[in-house]
Structure 1
Amino acid sequence: MMAGPGGLDDAGGGPARHIPVLLDEVLAALEPSDGKILVDGTFGAGGYTRALLSAGARVIAIDRDPDAIRDGKEMEAASGGRLRLVPGAFSRLDEHAGETVDGVVLDIGVSSMQLDQAERGFSFRHDGPLDMRMAQAGPRAADVVNAFKAGDLTRIFGLLGEERHAGRIARMIEKRRAARPFATTRDLAEAIEALVGRHPKDKIHPATRVFQALRIFVNDELGELARALFAAERALKPGGRLAVVTFHSLEDRIVKRFMGERAGGSGGSRHLPEVQAVPPTFDKPAKVIAASEAEAERNPRARSAKLRVAVRTENPARPEDHSIFGLPKLPEIQAIHG
């Protein structure tokens, strides 16, 4: 359910349509059927939820975007009580579910619906306010761009966007905003393009990585994903399935490390070998699944998608340990009062 950070598909064509990514593979992983209780932690436009309901399962669908919850009400009403929509963060999916469940699916990233709405400020394809807030609350991307020092912006763009011109762009922003703060998506994108330049053969706009970094930072996407994985561990029944679809290396690395560490049975740090091993909470994860050539051709957004699946053991959930992820140290967004 994710398009390129600039709002175009990876081929640079038009706006991406909503097509659930790796849908057949997700269904095969979760094995939905009558009587099963499944959590769709990233409801979006309801692509996965619709398919899970069609297979007879009961679904608890979560989304922090109020628009997604509003637009899903008709599906909820038509479900005969088998769909419960929950507004909130998927990092608390165990609390939102309120019961143990048979499966959890997470589709990480921004949805095509959010990208297509200029007023949400996720994309520079259409000009709109520099917002990017999935929950439509808290500090906006404009607040980050206009408030943080160049050094902090450099870390955000470099670590979350892997932008090689991070320092140059951050210094340009700091200088330009003194005369005129950044307020719109196109204003920021054009300023970056004017600084960095754009070769006719470039596949992506020069502002794409900065927009990705800002979106991830504003919504604490990596922290939310890490917390959601621990929440899924607590929510799943023995034998329950966890399926996570990611779209870039930062997300996939978090999921890979979590599943590997939880399946490895080691509860201690590599610096403390004397710590007794802890029983694994997930079986060894299956091999990562990528989209088929046919799906990638049909849906360009699927080209970078990866699906990882793991099965819950009978052992009790372990305490959260965020050190396993090696998440980058970033400035605190709470310092901004947006």
Structure 2
Amino acid sequence: MYAANNSLVGTESLWRQINDKVIIVQILVMIFLCINILLIVTFSKNQCFYTTTRYILFAVTLLSDSILLFMSDILLILIYFRFTIQVWLCIIFSVVVLVYIIVTPVTLTAMTLERYVAICMPLRHGELCSTRSTMHCILIIHGLSSVPCIVILTTLFASASLSFYKKYQMCSVEIFIFQVWQDQARSAVQQFYFLIMCIIIVFSYVKIMKVAKAASGENKKSTKKGLRTVILHGFQLLLCLIQLWCPFIEAAVIKISFSLFEDVRYFNYIMFYLAPRCLSPLIYGLRDEKFFQTLRNYSSICLFKRNI
């Protein structure tokens, strides 16, 4: 009887945990993934989007955000319920997350530069932002985004023994850090990246603002819209920057209390993983007239077919 009561209490406690936190995250993740998939399908429905740099880069951010949300959600569930997996499998999960954490902000920086070229160098926009150049840009984005991950893995392979990869542990980037200098190397690379990205966004903002003051009529309206886009990119980049500080905060908190670590990681995931990912659809999915019109037409057709 006592054992049965304990089992019932344990089950109720687990269900309360699922209700309070996990289900909320799963609902949010599903909403954002569904929105992203809808926007990706909308992108595929209009051929002119395939040849426009800002729409191609927008599609890259949608794919990047979707992959990151899906993979990081799996890791969050594993940690929340304290499931352990072998380290080699954790490395595979972590590589994807580490790369795509950087892909979105680097792509946002590329999109900011595209707006700068379109507004400040309109005569060279067609040359610099061709489809071919955009494909090369996407390769460069993923190459640059892989560097912090390569740094972490290189320091891991240099420090860990072969038996370490067969151990069962809770999957977190922190398990790859054995020495203080490894943490410092990771931090230095990430902060350098974001310093460069911040400089690019501020530079673009200042240049576009100068053009906005000198423009008139339709050009002024277009320039102001570009200026607002750069501001939104800057805010999104700020959230992404805070997101990169989260592992260092969590690493300090886990030494104090594991339950506090779970709460902090949950808060960070909501604020700095999910929140920035909802801004991309807003910036280019709803604010852009052409994309929004295509989205509305596609949604209307789908609803009409369903009613039939």
TM superposition score category, shorter chain reference: under 0.3
TM-score, normalised via structure 2 length: 0.27
For CA contacts below 8 A with separation 6 or more, give which structure has more relative contact order: 2
Please identify which structure carries the higher strand content.
1
TM-score, normalised via structure 1 length: 0.25
